[in-house]
Structure 1
Amino acid sequence: MKKPALLIIDMQNDFASKKAVLPVAGAENVISPLTQVLSEFRARNLPIFHVVRVHHPDGSDVEWFRAEKFKSTPFAVRRTPGADVIDELKPKPGEYLLEKTRMSAFIGTGLDLTLRTLGIEIVVIAGIQTPNCIRTTVFDAMAYNYETVLVNDATGAQTREIHEANVLDMKNIGVTVINAPDLANWLDSI
């Protein structure tokens, strides 16, 4: 059996909670399917990575194209409630919390090294948002030679059209796309 790991991307209070300072439209729609995915990985004792975007309070590590936005509305500031994972998906002991400052979970982090150390061959990706952090993480996972699976209904974007266009692009590079209700059978098949 190939060993999978779950990467949950940016499901943080500042983006996906009722008190979000930069709410991602549709984020609330992925919580229920994502909870199902998380439960399945927990039941099988498979590695789970909660990937969160965090920034210094002064914004010195924010991308240049988001710097003005950060000045007016600071988001995902390290060690603030806004940077925390939403309550519905809170990490449990033994799960990984990975901080990033860029869109991809692989850029400037120890994710690849940790995955390889754990013997992971497949990454299962879910969270928000499809055209940005999800897409860049997926493309980098493929570039690092991981078999990559996207959980379609546990991933979201500002509109259904944006989400679907990006999912089609990911399918076209060889990403497997499944839905949360099909995860258990898919895991049984690998």
Structure 2
Amino acid sequence: MMKKALLVIDVQVGMFQEGNVVYKGDSLLTNVKSLIFQAHSSETPIFYIQHNGPSGHPLEYRTSGWEIHPEIAPKNQDVIIQKTTPDSFFNTSLDDELKKHEIEHLVIAGIQTEACVDTTCRRAFSMDYKVTLASDSHSTWDSEDITAQQIINHHNRVLRWFADTSPSQDISFKN
């Protein structure tokens, strides 16, 4: 059986700013918390990916918006990986940490569907990880052309080329 890990991408305070909360932010947090609980209960490693934004960005490094959302705060055994691009692997220690833990299968959740979640799914696949995308545990915002729900639906369909897509309630971390 492949050893799994949960990746929680960019679920940071700045993504929940009043007046600009990520789409269905409350249900996203509920689903991610459920995945985290399941992972901790089965002693599955959790890797939090934390985006370091530039000055003035909602995720500006070392500001309150940069902090991981308090409802899903990491525990001591969890690993936090810092990144500066949509790719959670690019110029980070993620691959080394996963190898150190002998991880072969990644369960991915987080923000932003069409950027960091999409890029990380595709990159993980290209690096020979088995990938499961928690289809109800990633989110974004409306664009000028399409709604957040349409973006999420589209990516759940397209990313099936790179990942199994399942709702969080159907994902098991037990080996």
TM-score by length of 1: 0.83
| SS of match in other structure, 1:177 | strand
Q: State the one-letter code of the partner of 2:114.
A: P
d(CA) in 2 for partners of 1:141 and 1:27? 25
Q: State the one-letter code of the partner of 1:39.
A: F
Q: CA deviation at 1:6?
A: 0.5
C-alpha contact (below 8 Å) 1:20/1:82 kept by paired residues: no
**Paired position in structure 1 for 2:89:** 106
**Paired position in structure 2 for 1:25:** 23
Alignment of 1:55 onto 2:38:
no
- What CA deviation, in whole Å up to 9, does each residue of 1:69-99 have, x standing for no partner? xxxx432122111100111100010101111
Structure 1's unaligned 5+ residue stretches are 58-72
Q: CA deviation at 1:55?
A: 3.0
Q: State the one-letter code of the partner of 2:171.
A: L
* Bigger Rg, structure 1 or 2: 1
**Paired position in structure 2 for 1:42:** 40
More helix by share: 1
- What CA deviation, in whole Å up to 9, does each residue of 1:22-57 have, x standing for no partner? 642333331101110000001111110110101354
C-alpha contact (below 8 Å) 1:124/1:149 kept by paired residues: yes
**Between the two proteins, what is the percent identity of the paired residues?**
25
| SS of match in other structure, 2:14 | helix
Assess, with a 3 A threshold, how the Cα gap between structure 1 residues 139 and 91 changes in structure 2: closer, same or farther.
same
d(CA) in 2 for partners of 1:149 and 1:7? 10
**Paired position in structure 2 for 1:67:** none
C-alpha contact (below 8 Å) 2:121/2:162 kept by paired residues: no
| SS of match in other structure, 1:106 | coil
Assess, with a 3 A threshold, how the Cα gap between structure 1 residues 56 and 130 changes in structure 2: closer, same or farther.
closer
d(CA) in 1 for partners of 2:150 and 2:19? 24
**Paired position in structure 1 for 2:12:** 12
Alignment of 1:180 onto 2:168:
yes
Tell me the number of residue pairs that the alignment of Structure 1 and Structure 2 aligns: 169
d(CA) in 2 for partners of 1:21 and 1:45? 37
Match 1:166 to one of 155, 159, 168: 155
TM-score by length of 2: 0.90
Following superposition, which runs of at least 4 residues in structure 1 exceed 2 angstroms of deviation? 19-29
Counting only pairs closer than 5 Å after superposition, residues 126-137 of structure 1 correspond to structure 2 as 126-137=109-120
d(CA) in 2 for partners of 1:20 and 1:151? 25
C-alpha contact (below 8 Å) 1:50/1:98 kept by paired residues: yes
Let me know the Cα RMSD of the aligned residues. 1.6
Alignment of 1:117 onto 2:106:
no
